[in-house]
Structure 1
Amino acid sequence: MVEKLTKERVLVCGAYTQKEKEHFQSSMEELKRLVETAQGEVIVENIQHREDIDQKTVLGKGKIAEIQEQVIAENIDLVVVNTSLTPRQLANLEEILPCRVIDRTQLILDIFALRARSKEGKLQVAKAQIDYLLPRLTVMNGHLSKLGGGIGTRGPGETKLETDRRHLHRQQLRIQKELKEVKKHRELARKNRTQNSGLNIGLVGYTNAGKSTFLNVLTQAETYEKDELFATLDPLTRQYRLKEGLKMTFTDTVGFIQDLPTTLVEAFHSTLEETQNMDLLFHIVDASSPERDEQEKTVLRLLDELGCQSIPVLTIYNKMDQVAGDFVPTQFPHLCLSLKERGAKEEIETGIIKFLQEIWQPYTYSLPVSEVQKLYALQEFTLVEKMEFSEEETYNITGYGNQKYAYLYEK
């Protein structure tokens, strides 16, 4: 008989100042969901309002004493702090509390270690974990007796914590070398794909907004789809064709999140570079989330940091069936739908056509029957709206196209 996996008992805590008050509670709710995604169970939540964050321990002495009592009373295995701790803050908290302590960054890294499937994804996680561990190695060495596996110890962290700094540096150099090779292969694959794939569309959005669901509805890609944070980590590309003939590829990317640690943005920058090479971006938004506005801003801010400001964006408000009360969209142009409802695919196709008609240039073109092979290229790489065969044995075509394929219809 297989034993049921016992979830770690977790206490989540954090401190906030007046200027952080507005979004702190949603950040704590997100932290609890992250713990659940990492296969832990939140037993206690403890927060503190402060004029200034304590530089030594984040929380005040009285609050830490209270947490210390809760850890013992509730048999807590792990304390997760809702911020990125400095090495010294982490060491101070581990000295006081009778259990393991990790921060928000290490928790997200742990989930990434669970989710990574591709070679590049695993390498990126390994690099990010080593970058995180190196400055903390000295202060953590005195507290290794508390490490016995579990949340925050997966991936390279589980075996590398007990190794010396020199070994971690060697690992770091090896991973960087492997990542360079993987990047070369990916750039070559991307070049080949963009030359022959037609319209390249990147799916971006806050984690758990529905990007994988979108891909499954439209392309039947059978991607991992679950109501949890960071369900997708590795980019996935699938091809699709409208009934009008237009060929396109969709690339699903890792979900964005509030306060995404710098080390993660840097570690996955090469993966997110896929976004920079897209013709269009579809921003998938969870319309039912109470934090929708903040989530939208988080994604748009990260897209700006990635240099994607010039790429046209269509916002797709998903989960409309779960919206309570009136809904006021804030991004334009947009679609409002529920991806899991019947008819979603047709709504998406209609929305794509309308979007392309708005951002592409209309064209008219007369094609002699002797050049019929060019007709297929026009159907694949532009949006053909109408086509008539005249008595002069020419195809009179009207449609919409972008500058990338203007050579097909410009005389």
Structure 2
Amino acid sequence: MTSNDAAERAILVGAPPVDMPQETVDEHLEELARLARTAGADVRGVVIQRLRTPSAATYIGKGKVERLARMLHEHEATLAIFDEELSPAQGANLEAALGIRALDRTELILDIFALRARTSESKLQVELAQLQYMRTRLKRMWTHLSREGGGIGARGPGEQQIETDRRLIDRRLARLRHKLDHIARARVTQRRARSEQFKVALAGYTNAGKSSILRGLSGTEVFVEDRLFATVDSATRVCDLDGPGPILLTDTVGFIRKLPHHLVASFRATMEELSEADLLLHVIDASSPNWEAQRDAVEAVLAEVGAADRPVLHVFNKIDRLTHEEERALRERAVAAARPHVLTSVLEEGGLDPLREALQAAMRARLETVRVSLPAGDGARLAEAYREGEVLERAYEEGRVVILARVPAGVIGRWRESGLTVEQADAA
């Protein structure tokens, strides 16, 4: 499915385990429906079969395949979308039996990412993931490939189409990896340049409100839309929170249940922002009845990208959608979990103040309080103290400026290397 197939009609197929609660089944299929609508499909119906063991040939049973075929015909549907990942053989067998395309959850998410990617880096990352996924499915997907590099006309005698396309994909994959490695090296250089700045990264389930929080804290324009994966591009903004220096706040791609492995691998360079952050803001949609499962899904991806050991602040967002009773219950559950947390709303006046205060406290916790005497004319270091930290006191003594300040360890090291006497002190 592509962004041009806005009129495609889809039947959703769920094949949950026999012991999965019905409420969870409904939530999973509702999420699949939202994904399908995000990709441009018109959802016409749902087929469910609880399974102990998936069929090796068609995932769902033969009788259910026949029922699905009838339902597709009745609704004049053009797509069957499965909530589970299909093997290449299962996908091919289903398409042969149904006479239409059978997509799985992975292919659907990859399609949405391709639709939403805006920057050259994210487009490369999505293409890499798509090609890795398609490589084992060429028997039914080869018509979607580029003919770059000669294609059909360059085929030798007796050479099979699938072999030609696999070589085309392998060459393209190699070029994509080379380009992304170059971008990754540039990212490492950028991170080194800002190593002393307080780096905060937003992580969370898709549509939890990360981009809205970034816009609210930074005061800059960031694309925001109430749909899954409204943006898949990372964005970094400098945020001045009226505290001890500015922070670098980075919004990362939203996560989701069963986020495709190829996609996580392709976006690994971007997701390294999470493992390099001084603090992670795990944004949780407090209005979702399934927020705990969404939290767990995000934590699983954080562990996969090497960010499980980062300090985390849980940000329960969208509390404006809760009743007073629901908000009180949420606060009790958050306190019982014994994890640092704040409750926020980007719509209510002052709704982000608890988050601002928590970020200010986190910044102060990493600073050291020192007393230093500067030459009266040393405006550069005085400005550095204000820019990188927080000046608590300032006094003039015989042509010098004596300041009491909270500043990062890197600033203190530079001052000492320049010959200044820096004394540890207690905050006023």
What are the residue-to-residue correspondences of 1:37-48 with 2, within 5 Å?
A: 37-48=38-49
CA deviations over 1:339-392 (Å, ceiling 9, x no partner): 1222234443223223334x435524243453553232233223x273242667
Counterpart residue number, 1:349: 356
Q: 1:213 to 1:271 in 2, by over 3 A?
A: same
Separation of aligned partners in 2, 1:257 and 1:293: 13
Cα offsets for 1:233-268 (capped at 9, x unmatched): 111111122324512211111001111111111111
Does residue 68 of structure 1 match 2:74? no
The aligned amino acid for 1:138 is K
| Aligned Cα root-mean-square deviation (Å) | 2.8
Partner of 1:272: 271
Cα separation, 2, equivalents of 1:277 and 1:6: 39
- Identify the match of residue 332 of structure 1 among 335, 339, 352: 339
- For the residue of structure 2 that corresponds to 1:237, the secondary structure is strand
Query: 1:201·1:249 contact (CA, 8 Å) conserved in 2?
Result: yes
The answer (yes or no) to whether the contact 1:83–1:103 under 8 Å persists in 2 is yes
Unpaired runs of at least 5, structure 1: 145-152
What does residue 226 of structure 2 align with?
227
| Contact map agreement 1:17 1:53 (CA 8 A) in 2 | no
The residue number in structure 1 matching 2:261 is: 262
Given the superposition, is the C-alpha separation of residues 28 and 252 from structure 1 closer, same or farther in structure 2, using an over 3 Å criterion?
A: same
Q: Deviations over 1:71-106 (max 9, x none)?
A: 000010111000111000101111111221110000
Counterparts in 2 of 1:237-316, with a 5 A limit? 237-244=236-243, 246-316=245-315
> What is the alpha-carbon distance in structure 2 between the residues aligned to residue 398 and residue 245 of structure 1?
10
Instruction: Verify the 8 A CA contact 2:385 2:391 in the aligned structure 1.
Output: no
- The match for 1:28 is 29
Quote the offset at 1:45 in angstroms.
1.1
Aligned length: 391
User: Which residue in the other structure is 1:379 paired with?
Assistant: 386
- Mark the CA change 1:406 to 1:314 in structure 2 (over 3 Å): closer, same or farther: farther
- Distance in 2 (CA, whole Å) between partners of 1:402 and 1:311 is 19
Q: Give the counterpart letter for 2:231 in structure 1.
A: T
Offset from partner CA, 1:91-144 (integer Å, 9 cap, x none): 111111122111000000000101111111111111111101111113556xx6
Distance 1:23 1:362 in 2: 48
Tell me the SS of whatever aligns to 2:310.
coil
Residues 331 and 88 (structure 1), Cα distance of their counterparts in 2 relative to 1, 3 Å cut? farther
Q: Is the 8 A contact 1:10 1:41 kept in 2?
A: yes
1:13 is the counterpart of 2:19: no
Matching residue of 1:147: none
Does the CA-based 8 Å contact 2:368-2:409 persist in structure 1?
A: no
Task: Provide the C-alpha distance between the structure 2 equivalents of 1:111 and 1:273, rounded to a whole number of angstroms.
Answer: 22
Task: Measure the CA separation in 1 of the matches of 2:182 and 2:132.
Answer: 20
Q: Tell me which residue corresponds to 1:178.
A: 179
Deviation at 1:404, TM superposition (A): 5.0
Going from structure 1 to structure 2, the CA distance change for 1:28 and 1:335 (only over 3 Å counts) comes to: same
How far the C-alpha of 1:49 sits from its partner, in A, is: 1.1
Residues of 2 paired with 1:404 and 1:302: CA distance? Answer: 32
Structure 1 residues 165 and 158: alpha-carbon distance in aligned structure 2, compared to 1, 3 A threshold: closer
Aligned CA distance change for structure 1 residues 53 and 157 (closer, same or farther; 3 Å): farther
Query: Is the alpha carbon distance of 1:335 and 1:402 closer, same or farther for their aligned partners in structure 2, counting shifts above 3 Å?
Result: farther
Q: Decide whether aligned partners of structure 1 residues 97 and 118 sit closer, same or farther in structure 2, where only a CA change above 3 A counts.
A: same
What is the deviation of 1:19? 4.7
**Residue 210 of structure 1: CA displacement?**
0.7
CA 54–367 in structure 1, closer or farther in 2 if over 3 Å, else same: farther
Contact 1:12 1:81 in 2 (8 A): yes
Structure 1 letter corresponding to 2:18: Q
Please state how far the C-alpha of 1:39 moved relative to its aligned partner.
Answer: 1.2
Indicate conservation of the 8 Å contact 1:13/1:82, yes or no.
Answer: yes
> Could you tell me whether the CA contact under 8 Å between 1:232 and 1:253 is conserved in 2?
no
Structure 2 unmatched ranges of 5 or more: 152-160, 416-421, 424-428
Amino acid corresponding to residue 353 of structure 1 in structure 2? Q
1:121 alignment counterpart: 122
Q: Counterpart of 1:224 in structure 2: which amino acid?
A: F
* Alpha-carbon distance between aligned partners in 2 of 1:172 and 1:113, rounded to the nearest angstrom: 16
Q: Secondary structure at the match of 2:49?
A: strand
Q: Which has the larger radius of gyration?
A: 2
Alpha-carbon distance in 2 for matches of 1:31, 1:157: 29
Query: Does the Cα contact within 8 Å between 1:37 and 1:229 map onto a contact in 2?
Result: yes
Cα distance 1:331–1:80, how it changes in 2: closer, same or farther (>3 A)?
Answer: farther
Q: Which residue of 1 aligns with 2:216?
A: 217
Alignment partner of 1:18: what SS? coil
Q: How far apart are residue 25 of structure 1 and its match?
A: 3.0
**Which amino acid counterpart does residue 187 of structure 1 have in structure 2?**
V
Question: Is the CA contact 2:241–2:360 (under 8 Å) kept in the aligned structure 1?
Answer: no
- Aligned counterparts of 2:216 and 2:244: Cα–Cα separation in 1: 19
**How far apart, in 1, do the equivalents of 2:360 and 2:414 lie?**
19
In the TM superposition, 1:129-140 aligns within 5 A as 129-138=130-139, 140=141
* Amino acid aligned to 1:352: L
Q: Is the 8 A contact 1:314 1:355 kept in 2?
A: no
Residues 8-42 of structure 1 deviation map (CA, whole Å, 9 limit, x = unaligned): 11111021113544744322221111111111121
Letter aligned with residue 180 of structure 2: L
Q: C-alpha distance in 1, partners of 2:29/2:412?
A: 50
Q: Secondary structure at the match of 1:172?
A: helix
How high is the TM-score relative to the length of structure 2? 0.83
Alignment of 1:84-123 (within 5 A): 84-123=85-124
AA partner of residue 13 (structure 2):
C
Kindly state the Cα deviation for residue 270 of structure 1 after the two structures are TM-superposed. Answer: 1.2
- When structure 1 is superposed on structure 2, of 221-230 and 49-58 the one drifting more is 49-58
Q: Per-residue CA shift, 1:303-326, capped at 9, x if unaligned?
A: 122222332222211100112423
Equivalent residues of 1:15, 1:47 under 8 A apart: yes
User: In structure 2, what is the Cα distance between the partners aligned to 1:240 and 1:105?
Assistant: 35
Conserved? CA contact 1:88–1:139, under 8 Å: no
Give SS of 1:93's match: helix
Decide whether aligned partners of structure 1 residues 20 and 404 sit closer, same or farther in structure 2, where only a CA change above 3 A counts: farther
Tell me which amino acid in the other structure corresponds to 2:11: L
Q: Is the 8 A contact 1:244 1:385 kept in 2?
A: no
The alignment's TM-score, normalised by the length of structure 1, stands at 0.86
